[in-house]
Structure formats: C-alpha cells, structure tokens
Amino acid sequence: MLKALLLGAALLLTAPLAYCQATFSALNRQAMGAYSAKNYAESGKLFDQAFKDKAGKPTSTDYYNAACSWALAGDKDKAFRYLDRATGAGWDNVAHVKQDTDLTSLRTDKRWPVMLAKLDATVAKAEAKLNQPLKKELQEIYATDQGVRGKIDSVQRNFGQKSPQWDALMSEMRAIDERNTKRVTEIIDQYGWPGKALVGRMGSLTAFLVIQHADLAVQEKYFDVLKQAAARGDIAPGNFALLQDRVLLRRGKSQIYGSQVVGNPSTGKPEFAPIEDEAHVDERRAAVGLGPLAEYAKNFGFEYTPKK
C-alpha cells in the first residue's frame, strides 16, 4: 500500500460532476480507512464502488492500493486485475511492488512473473529517454529508505521502543539516512532538482523522501529548490506540504497542514502537533490535495474532532 483539484446552464453540468467527484473521494478515503482497520475485503469493495463513479479520476496509486486490499483479502483475481490497471494508468514504482508485503500472497502465483514483466516493459518504454544510471541509483536509494522503515511496526510491536532492538533499528535508520542524504544532495548540486524528465516520477519522489528524512539544516538549504520543483509539478503539492510542516515544527512554530503527529507528553498517545488557524486547516489541506484531518487521524489510530 502507498500512503496521495474543478458557471447558468454550465452550473447544471458541473454540479453533478462535483457531486460525483466528492463521492469518489469519499469512497476512496473510506477504502483507505477500512484498510487501516485491517478490514481488507471491505476496503476492496469500497475501492470497487469508487471506481464505478465515471466522474471520478482514479490514479495509478488508487488502483495499486485496491490491489493490495484484495490481495490481503485473499482475492487474487481482483488483485492482479487492479495491478494491471495500475500499470496501464502509469504505475512505475517497480521496487515497491517487489518488496510490498501486502502482495506476498501473489508471489507464488503463475501470474506474478507475467505481471512484473509487463510492468518492467511498460516502465522501460515510458522512461527510455531518462538518465537510466541515475534513475537506477535512486531506485536503490528508495529501497534502502523504505526498507528500513518497513521494519518499524514489527520491531515496535514485538520489542517496544525501549528495547535494544529498537535502538539498533534507529541507529541503522540514521546511518542509511545520512548516506542517502549525502548522495541525493550531491545529485541536486550537480543536476538541480532531479525531476520527472530526468529520473521519472519515482526517482523524483525518492529524492523528496530523502530530503524529508534529512535534518533541518539540509531541509532549509534546499527548501527553495523543492518549492520551485513543486511549482513545476515535479513534487506533488501534498508532499511539499508535509515538508513545510516538518520544517515549521523543527523551527518551533505551528504547522500549517496538520501532517505531523506527535506523542502526547503526558499520555504518550498520538495527537497532532500544534496547527496554525486550526479551524481552517481542512480548507488548506483540500487546496493541496489532502483529505480531511479527521480521516488522516485514523491512519494513526486516534480520533480527531475538527475545530469550529
């Protein structure tokens, strides 16, 4: 799973469209919520329903997430069907497909190597003009960045955050982040922001993830570079919003979009870090393609009541 903007007679045409788009978005969020609650079959059914909305605009990520839900629910046919639709819609994160544990049940199926071959061929054709050595290097960086973070849940669940195993994982993560940050900043210094035209969507996303996981000094140094990349469409507005929030919090200020969750000092339970003008946060989130904060909170296991 991967955890993603519309006047007399014209109004009569656009009003139903806006309603359907809202319906698609709502169903998509409900599907993600059901996935987070481990109700995988329900999640898959909600994705099915969302995709029937002809006015909706599902992305390759939406189709991929539906495949994950159905794979976990045990319906391999639907899982492979949605993986195929994801490929057709432009899914290009081959590395994630190969390591995503949501898809474990599919890997012994005879359709798995066929699906991978089609995905590889589709991506290769679409990205023939890219800087292939640099793209491959960023794929490897992505695998290390996400691979170590993929261990967090199991280590926390099995050993807790006060265990030697947790300390070892955090040490490993810091070492990986330091190494990746050094290389990605070298790439930025040489090429400017590694955008989609240079390294593809996933290569550009990988560079963003590394900066997002870097220390404040690095984030501040390259902030304007990322801002310009977001303006060009090389970084999704919602992703750049996450970086803005993280930088603000590290400077001791309130976040803008409510993307950052912290542990309550007294209870240890998750809650949102302070949010500027919290009553209007959902409006700001919608402007950059992010869903309501109440839905976002469910991903972290807590309830949130919007401020009035």
**Any idea what the CATH number is for the domain that residue 19 is in?**
1.25.40.10
* pLDDT of 22 strictly over 90: no
- Decide which of 191, 206, 234 is a domain's last residue: 234
Is the distance from CB of 292 to CB of 282 less than 8 angstroms? yes
**C-alpha span between 206 and 180 (Å, rounded):** 10
CA angle 243, 199, 117 (to 5 degrees): 115
Which pLDDT value is given to residue 15?
32
Which pLDDT value is given to residue 300?
87
Residue 2 lies in a domain: no
* Domain match, 159 and 192 both: yes
User: How many domains, in total, are found in the chain?
Assistant: 3
* Domain match, 284 and 214 both: no
* Domain match, 222 and 262 both: no
* pLDDT of 24 strictly over 90: no
* pLDDT of 26 strictly over 50: yes
Give the pLDDT band of residue 191 (cuts 50, 70, 90).
very high
**C-alpha span between 49 and 252 (Å, rounded):** 43
* Domain match, 120 and 189 both: no
Give the pair of three-digit tokens for residue 272: 């949102």
State the virtual CA torsion across 292, 294, 299, 302 in degrees, nearest 10.
Answer: 170
Looking at residue 2, what DSSP letter applies?
-
Give this prediction's pTM: 0.69
**Amino acid making up residue 267:** T
Range of the domain at 267: 236-308
Residue 1 lies in a domain: no
Contacts of 281 (CB under 8 A, 6+ apart): 256, 257, 258, 275, 293, 306, 307
- Decide which of 182, 212, 234 is a domain's last residue: 234
* Domain match, 157 and 210 both: yes
Q: What is the mean pLDDT of the chain?
A: 90
Please write the tens of the pLDDT for every residue from 47-89: 999 999 888 889 999 999 999 999 999 999 999 999 999 999 9
* Domain match, 24 and 73 both: yes
Please write the tens of the pLDDT for every residue from 109-153: 999 999 999 999 998 888 888 999 999 999 999 999 999 999 998
* Domain match, 161 and 195 both: yes
End-to-end CA distance of the chain: 33
